[in-house]
Amino acid sequence: MRRARRRGGRTGARSIEAAIAVARRLAASEVLRLAGVAGYEGSLGHDRSPHSIDAVRTYLEGQVALHSALGDLYDGDAIYVTAGGSAYFDIVAEVYADAMKNDSGTRWTLRSGAYITHDDGFYRGISPLDEAGVNVERPLRPAMHGLARVVSHPEPGLALLDGGKRDFPFDEGLPIPRATARDIGDAGSPLDDANVSAMNDQHSYLRLGNHDVAIGDVVTLGLSHPCTAFDKWHYLPVVRSRDSDRVIDLVRTFF
C-alpha cells in the first residue's frame, strides 16, 4: 500500500481512513494478503528547508500511524513498512528507529538507491551525506560521469558536444561541465565557469565562459539524477578507479 500526503500527488490512498478501508478489503480477500505499508516521501520536497523536512517527517509519521492502525488486519506472516528515496533517507531512519522500539517484529525497510552512484547535481545538493549535510566527515562522491566530444565550435564562447538527451539525464538539471582534455585519459583542465545551456536529442550546448576548446576535445560532464542515466544504457562501463580511464567491467542495467 502507498499513502500520498496531498491531493493530486502520486499513487495510493489520500488519507489514513481511505488506506484502512482498502486494507480491510485486502484482509477479506481470498487471493491477496495484506503485507504492510509502502510509501515514497521524496516528492514532498526538493531541498533541505525546514518546510520540506517537516513535510517529509509528517508524512512518515502518518505512515507509521497507518501501520499501527492495521495491526488487527495483518495475518501474522512477514509484515513490511518501507519508504526512503535517496534524498531524505536520514529522516526515514529517524522516524523508523523510534517506531522500531515498540515493533521489532515488522521488517522496516529503507530502499534508497542513488547512493550507489550519487551525482553532481540534484542529490549532491540535497543528500545529508554531501553539500546539504552538516559536518559530514566522509561525504558521498559521484561515481558516474558522462564523456562527450566537441564536434563544432561555431562561434566564440559556444561549443557543441556529441551527447544529448538520448545519452545523459536532464530531468533534474542539465549536465555540469567538469573538465576538458585533448583525449580520453589525458590530464584534464577544469571548466569552472562553463555550463550546458541547452540539450537536443544528440547534442549539448556548452557555454565556455573564459575557457576555450578545440574540435575533438573530450569534455567530462557531471550528471544529475542517476536514475535516468540507467534507463538510457543497457550496459555501463566500469573503470578501475575514480582517477582511471581503464574499463575493467560492464554492468547490465534492468531499469
Cell of 187: 590530464
Which CA distances in Å does 34 have to 13, 65, 110, 122, 123?
A: 15, 16, 19, 35, 33
Strand order from edge to edge, sheet including 36-38: 36-38, 80-83, 107-110
> pLDDT by residue (tens digit) across 134-187?
778 888 889 999 999 999 999 999 999 999 999 999 999 999 999 999 888 777
Q: What is the rounded CA–CA span in Å between residue 69 and residue 226?
A: 36
27-52 residue pLDDT tens: 999 999 999 999 999 888 889 999 99
Percent of the chain with pLDDT over 90: 69
- pLDDT score at 2: 44
Secondary-structure breakdown of the chain: helix, strand, coil percentages, each rounded to the nearest 5: 25, 25, 50
Instruction: Compute, in degrees rounded to 10, the torsion defined by CA atoms 131, 132, 134, 137.
Output: -40
Q: Are 20 and 74 in contact, with CB atoms under 8 Å apart?
A: no
Using one digit for the tens of pLDDT, what is the confidence trace for 75-101? 878 999 999 889 999 999 999 999 999
Average per-residue pLDDT for the chain: 90
- Measure the CA–CA gap between 123 and 146, rounded to whole angstroms: 17
Q: Report pLDDT for 4.
A: 41
Q: Does residue 5 surpass a pLDDT of 50?
A: no
Domain with CATH 2.40.37.20 in the chain: 145-252
Within the chain, which residue ranges are assigned CATH 3.20.20.10? 16-112
Q: How far apart are CA 137 and CA 109, in angstroms?
A: 25
Model confidence at 213, pLDDT cuts 50, 70, 90, reads very high
Query: In the CATH scheme, what is the code of domain 145-252?
Result: 2.40.37.20
The answer to whether residue 16 scores a pLDDT higher than 80 is: yes
| pLDDT at position 9 over 80 | no
Q: How confident is the model at residue 3 (pLDDT cuts 50, 70, 90)?
A: very low
Question: Residue 7 has what pLDDT?
Answer: 52
Residue 187: the pLDDT is 76
Lowest mean pLDDT across 8-22, 49-63, 211-225: 8-22
pLDDT of residue 185: 74
Residue 200 pLDDT: 97
Residue 66 and residue 71: Cα distance in Å, rounded?
9
Superfamily classification of domain 16-112 = Alanine racemase (3.20.20.10)
Higher pLDDT, 55 or 132: 55
pLDDT at res. 77: 85
The residue with greater pLDDT, 205 or 136, is: 205
Q: What is the pLDDT of residue 59?
A: 93
